[in-house]
Every structure is written in structure tokens, then in C-alpha cells.
Amino acid sequence: MLRARDEIRAECQPLVDVEHAQARIRSGQVGYDALRVLRSCGDPMPYFTRVLDAFEVAGFLSNEDRRSLLQSELDVDDLVSGWFTGDRTPRDPSRRIARQAAIVVGNAFLRSASAMVEPASIWRGWTRIVCPCCGGFPDIALRERGAQRTLVCARCDAQWRTPHQGCLSCRTVDEPTIARITNVEVGYDLVMCNGCGRFLKERPRRGIESFIVERALTTELDLAAEHRGLRI
């Protein structure tokens, strides 16, 4: 699965005006228009097929389900733009896996674009809630030593630090407006703000491997938060 993602990242050619993006970020604006960059990568279908193959090899999907997904009238563009506009995780397992495959493709495209803008993975001096590169919201927060947290963009995996605790949107730190549910099995806290309706998945940084894997392991947390009407 990681190999499929790395191949897509190596092969896709997102169109990004790197200097323009860097200048915008220096002045506190989001670097590039993510939807336009996604479209510049062309037809996602061949990549999507490759990710489904990888899912089958990894045991996430049976051969039969993979075939029926490919034969169904699946619109991968729709799946990618649905992910983009923040639609909900489908409860139907086969639709959920199709959406996950589309996310792997979209993430590989945008990650590759963001790496063109800044090869180092962590942005310094960025203080907004949204990603400096693509404007996406973070879905994962990694607790560092001290009080800082590193935020990870749900779309492109860019990372930046924040000194703020609690909700990033409304800055509330008080319980019970902020509800924290610890899931020992996956090693994450689901941190939800009942004030503005946003959530994050939070864990200590140590032992982190790949965000693709982390997200695949924590889909249940997204479902639980979305079920409460929350979004990232």
C-alpha cells in the first residue's frame, strides 16, 4: 500500500507555481489552490486501480469485491472531490474502501505538490489553523514534549506546530465543551469540541510511522465523531 502511494507520488506531475506559493505562505496566505492542483494531475482512475490492487494484496479487500468495485459505475473524481469537500465516511464497507482508495490517490497528489513547495516536512512560523500549503484542516495532532502539538494536514500531510491546547477553531480549553475519549486499542484520543463541532485525533509523536497507516487504523474514530455531527 505504501509502495503504491510512493509510486503515485513519484509519477504524478502536479502543476504548482512554487515561487508564487512560497511568497503567499510568507505573507500568511495558503500556498496553492488544492482543487486546481488535483485536477492538474489528470485522470485518477489508473492510480485508483493500482491502490485497489494494493488493498487486495494487503488483505483489506477481497478479489471479488475489488472486481465488483471496478465494474460498478464508480466515479473516482467524485470520490476525490467528496473527500475534499468534507463528505462523511460511508458506513457501507465497500464504499468506504473505495473512498479510502480515492483518498490515498488524492493525498499522494497533494503531498507531492506540497513537497515541491517545501521539502522539509514541518513548517515553521505558521500560526493559522489551516494547512499553509493546501488550506486543508488538520485531522491528526501529535503531542510533543512540552506543551506543543504538531498538526498534520488531512489532505497533504504537511505539518506545523501550535502552542494552543484544546480546540483550534474556537480556542476553548474547558471541559465539558472539549470532550476527550481515549481509545487504548489504537493509541489515540478523540478530541471533540462541542462548541464549534470540530474534532481531532491526538496521540504522542513517538512511534508514528506513516499517516496512511495511522488513518487506516483510526477510521472508527472518524465514524464516531461524524456520528455526533462533528467534522475535522
Q: Report 105-134 residues binding Zn ion (CB under 5 A).
A: 131, 133-134
Q: Is 103 in the site for Zn ion (CB under 5 A)?
A: no
In sequence order, what are the residues at sequence separation of 6 or more whose Cβ sits closer than 8 angstroms to the Cβ of residue 195?
167, 170, 172, 177
Q: Rounded distance, CA 160 to CA 155, Å?
A: 14
Q: Is 225 in the site for Zn ion (CB under 5 A)?
A: no
Q: Which of 158, 191, 212, 225 binds Zn ion (CB under 5 A)?
A: 158
Q: Are strands 122-123 and 149-153 parallel, antiparallel or unpaired?
A: unpaired
Number of chain positions touching Zn ion (CB under 5 A): 14
Q: Is 166 in the site for Zn ion (CB under 5 A)?
A: no
Number of H helices, E strands in the chain: 9, 7
User: Closest CB to Zn ion among 187 and 195?
Assistant: 195
User: Closest CB to Zn ion among 100 and 107?
Assistant: 107
Q: Is 154 in the site for Zn ion (CB under 5 A)?
A: no
Grid cell, residue 135, equals 488550506
User: Closest CB to Zn ion among 170 and 232?
Assistant: 170
Q: Is 169 in the site for Zn ion (CB under 5 A)?
A: yes
Binding mask 195-214 for Zn ion (x = CB under 5 A): xx------------------
**CB crowding 86-97: b at 16 or more within 10 Å, else e:** eeebbeeeeeeb
Residue with cell 465488483: 68
Cβ-contact 150, 159 below 8 angstroms = yes
* Binding residues for Zn ion (CB under 5 A): 131, 133-134, 136, 153, 155-156, 158, 167, 169-170, 193, 195-196
